[in-house]
Amino acid sequence: MPHGPLSVPARLCLLAGDTAPAHRLVRAGALAELARRGLLVDDDGIATPVDLDSRTGDPVLDGLLDLVRESLPHDWRTWVRLRARITWDAVREQLVAERCLRAEKRRVLGVFPSVSYALARPALVDALRDRTRQVLRGPAPAAEVPVPDAAVAVLAAAARLRGLGPPADGVRSEALSARGAGAPGVRRIMRELCAAVGAATAGAPAPTAG
């Protein structure tokens, strides 16, 4: 797969583009990845680091892990929205370094410096969107879907991104959510993350895929 090396939050960033739920969707993907790796656990609803020293080697994930460690305790839904742009910006910088996005500097009103981002590899995003549609509707059984692919699919569906087609039926959606969690103890976390992304999307302008 052309998007195989990309992390869950990076794939979600490419799928969402610059849309209303993008910040929180990308943050939810990073939280899901940390939970799947066992570095964040659920302690009576609170997102809790397992220790003070573990690292992933991914600067985006490690940055979020440090933020959680250094902050007051919060539940998962709060972490989906709290300072979510930090993670979104870090993922976009990572995608620029990997030549999936182009950073274009400009000045607003001819004075204020700003950066906009454009797709550098549209075919990669098309392949990612096609793969996500396949995951949501089969024919492969949910149990055979790679865990990162399942996590991307259920979170993208929760955000109701366009271009993914109709949602999966309830049975497959639940099976994909369990698969995307990667472990039984993470299933509740995944449900909380999906609910937070769905709530962020509700009432926002209809999003378009990246």
Residues 180-202 have pLDDT tens digits of 998 888 999 999 999 999 998 87
Q: How confident is the model at residue 144 (pLDDT cuts 50, 70, 90)?
A: very high
- Phi, psi of 45, rounded to the nearest 5 degrees: 90, -5
**Structural domain count of the chain:** 1
Is residue 101 in a domain? yes
Average pLDDT over residues 67-81: 97
User: How far is it between the farthest Cα atoms of the chain?
Assistant: 54
Task: Express each pLDDT in 164-180 by its tens digit.
Answer: 988 788 899 999 999 99
Average pLDDT over residues 12-22: 91
Q: What is the pLDDT of residue 2?
A: 42
Is residue 209 in a domain? no
Instruction: Take residue 58 and report the two structure tokens written for it.
Output: 């991914």
Instruction: Decide if pLDDT at 210 tops 80.
Output: no
Task: Please state whether beta strands 101-108 and 40-43 pair in parallel, antiparallel, or not at all (unpaired).
Answer: unpaired
What's the CA gap between 55 and 2, in Å, rounded?
26
Is residue 130 in a domain? yes
**Half-sphere exposure of 146 toward its Cβ, with a 13 Å CA cutoff?**
12
Cα 179 → chain centroid: 16
Question: What is the pTM for the complete model shown?
Answer: 0.90
Q: How confident is the model at residue 74 (pLDDT cuts 50, 70, 90)?
A: very high
Q: What is the pLDDT of residue 177?
A: 93
Task: Express each pLDDT in 103-135 by its tens digit.
Answer: 887 766 666 667 788 899 999 999 999 999 999
DSSP 20: T
> Could you tell me which residue, 209 or 64, shows the higher pLDDT?
64
Instruction: Decide if pLDDT at 207 tops 60.
Output: no
The contacts of residue 77 (CB under 8 Å, 6+ apart) are 192, 195, 196, 199
For residue 122, give its domain range.
8-201
Is residue 89 in a domain? yes
Is residue 68 in a domain? yes
Q: Look at residue 48 and give its three-state secondary structure.
A: strand
What's the CA gap between 7 and 30, in Å, rounded?
9
What's the CA gap between 169 and 13, in Å, rounded?
25
Closest CA to 137 of 179, 178, 166, 180: 166
Contact 28, 196 (CB under 8 A): yes
Is residue 193 in a domain? yes
Is residue 183 in a domain? yes
Instruction: Decide if pLDDT at 68 tops 90.
Output: yes
Q: Percentage helix, strand, coil, to 5, in the chain?
A: 55, 10, 30
Region for residue 54 given its phi and psi (left: phi exceeds 0; alpha: psi -120 to 50; beta: otherwise): beta
> Could you tell me which residue, 16 or 3, shows the higher pLDDT?
16
Is residue 2 in a domain? no
Contact 162, 209 (CB under 8 A): yes
Task: Express each pLDDT in 75-99 by its tens digit.
Answer: 999 999 999 999 999 999 999 999 9
